[in-house]
Amino acid sequence: MFGALRSPRNILFGRGQRLALGGYVAKLGARALVVTDARMAADAQFAAVIDTIRAAGVAVTLYDGVEAELPAECIEAGVVAGRAASADVIVGIGGGSCIDAAKVIALLLTHGGAMSDYYGEFKIPGPLLPVVAVPTTAGTGSEVTPVAVVADPDRAVKVGIASPYLIPDTAICDPELTLTCPPGLTAASGADALVHAIEAFTNAPRDGDAAITLEHVFVGKNALTDQHARTAIASIGQSLVRAVDQGDDLVARTDVMLGSMLAGLAFGSAGTSICHAVQYPVGALTHTAHGLGVALMLPYALQFNRHHVTAEIATVGRLMSLVTGNSDDEAAADATIEGITKLLGAVGIPATLAEIGIAAKDLPWIAEQALGANRLIKNNPRPVDRAGMDQLVAAAFSGDRQSLSSPNQPDARAS
């Protein structure tokens, strides 16, 4: 058995926990830079949370310039604000964009240089100014993960910075903060979390030699990440539809937020895979929400991997109560893919790449760019070559999921 798990020093979870923020920030510094967006900065609940920092005797500088997709300028402006304030602790409050921005601002305040110096894995030379992360969406898991995703003006697709030093010191997850998320955001971010958990659980395991965690940030499916992935899959499966349909249901909101945080712990060490690899170029072309793009790919990715991880897919379906009776793994895996397809449709995730504006002429570029994301592709349980990637994106474009399960597929069952 091999296990590897990296996580924040503190994780707080539950309604009302946001009011512990000031006490945790005061343990870490005397001058806080709070990183958020304009919507959040205008929110009364946000003001009450920030007041806990001032009440704990910490000076607060507010930077509310975070923008969707994280263009480089909004990171640079945050670094300028942090430097001017001599910030010694960074607080990220908001969706994944705000938390990722806080992580990258802490990185540049600590080590200087340009964002591009740190693209890829293990490029950060040492610890950062401490980050306290307070998510207001239930989705990305960024509050516990070693990664931040940014837009680079010189590159067509978003890029990742992955390093254990990016993991926040403290994550404070308060499901009451997600009550204001509208249905579309709840669906896209919750589906992102489901994809994180399922990709972490179905990724290829690696040999756990002693160098693996020193050489890779994402080390594949393992005994410790599986624990969190299982709970996340069950928790999100049970409550995502209710959280979308009845946004004031705090029990459902709590389940989905627990699932998103645990999915973050799972994929933060195990890694994600082909749904995320395809979403980067698709997102660049369509500017669709990250969660919507990865969720759209999930049924196709599961079908593509169906014969390589039959037992794992069957387990996903049992955890989500999508499998009836005592079906064997083969039947259960098929029922799981059907059930997940229906669930994603029920929360409004589009079914095909064509529906979100991709044209047939874009498919070769998407396949090429997706294959280039080797840190993600290497995790997939079925080896992915160009022909396989072409099949995957063609099926997701046309909606012909069954084309991925033909017994004539050269890769199916054989490898």
Ligand X SMILES: NC(=O)c1ccc[n+]([C@@H]2O[C@H](COP(=O)([O-])OP(=O)(O)OC[C@H]3O[C@@H](n4cnc5c(N)ncnc54)[C@H](O)[C@@H]3O)[C@@H](O)[C@H]2O)c1
Task: Please report, as ranges, the residues that interact with ligand X according to CB under 6 A.
Answer: 37, 39-40, 68, 70, 94-98, 100, 136-137, 139-142, 145, 147-149, 177-178, 180-181, 185, 189, 192, 290-291
Nearer to ligand X, 279 or 310 (CB): 279
- 206: three-class secondary structure by DSSP: coil
For the four alpha carbons of 89, 95, 96 and 100, in that order, the dihedral sign comes to negative
Q: CA-to-CA distance for 167 and 147, rounded, in angstroms?
A: 7
The three-point CA angle 260-265-266 to 5° equals 95
Nearer to ligand X, 275 or 309 (CB): 275
- Cβ 136 to ligand X shortest distance, Å: 4
> Counting runs of H as helices and runs of E as strands, what totals does the chain give?
16, 9
Q: Segment near Fe ion (CB under 5 A), from 187-195, 219-227, 299-307, 392-400?
A: 187-195
Distance of CA 381 to the CA centre of its chain: 19
Selected binder of Fe ion within 100, 169, 174, 192 (CB under 5 A): 192
Partner whose binding site includes residue 379, from Fe ion, ligand X, none (CB under 5 to 8 Å by kind): none
- Cβ 179 to ligand X shortest distance, Å: 7
Q: CA-to-CA distance for 203 and 221, rounded, in angstroms?
A: 5
Q: CA-to-CA distance for 385 and 377, rounded, in angstroms?
A: 10
- What part of residues 236-275 is at the interface with Fe ion (CB under 5 A)? none
- Cβ 207 to ligand X shortest distance, Å: 26
Nearer to ligand X, 52 or 288 (CB): 288
What radius of gyration, in Å, describes the C-alpha atoms of the chain?
A: 20
- Report the residue number whose CB is nearest to ligand X: 95
- Report the residue number whose CB is nearest to Fe ion: 192
Partner whose binding site includes residue 174, from ligand X, Fe ion, none (CB under 5 to 8 Å by kind): none
For the four alpha carbons of 14, 273, 94 and 188, in that order, the dihedral sign comes to negative
- Cβ 166 to ligand X shortest distance, Å: 8
- Cβ 178 to ligand X shortest distance, Å: 5
Which letter does DSSP use for residue 65 in this model? -
Nearer to Fe ion, 136 or 310 (CB): 136
Query: Three-state secondary structure along 6-40?
Result: CCCCEEEECCCHHHHHHHHHHHHCCEEEEECCHHH
What is the distance in angstroms between the CA of the first residue and the CA of the last residue of the chain? 23
- Cβ 144 to ligand X shortest distance, Å: 8
Using CB under 5 A, list all residues that contact Fe ion: 192
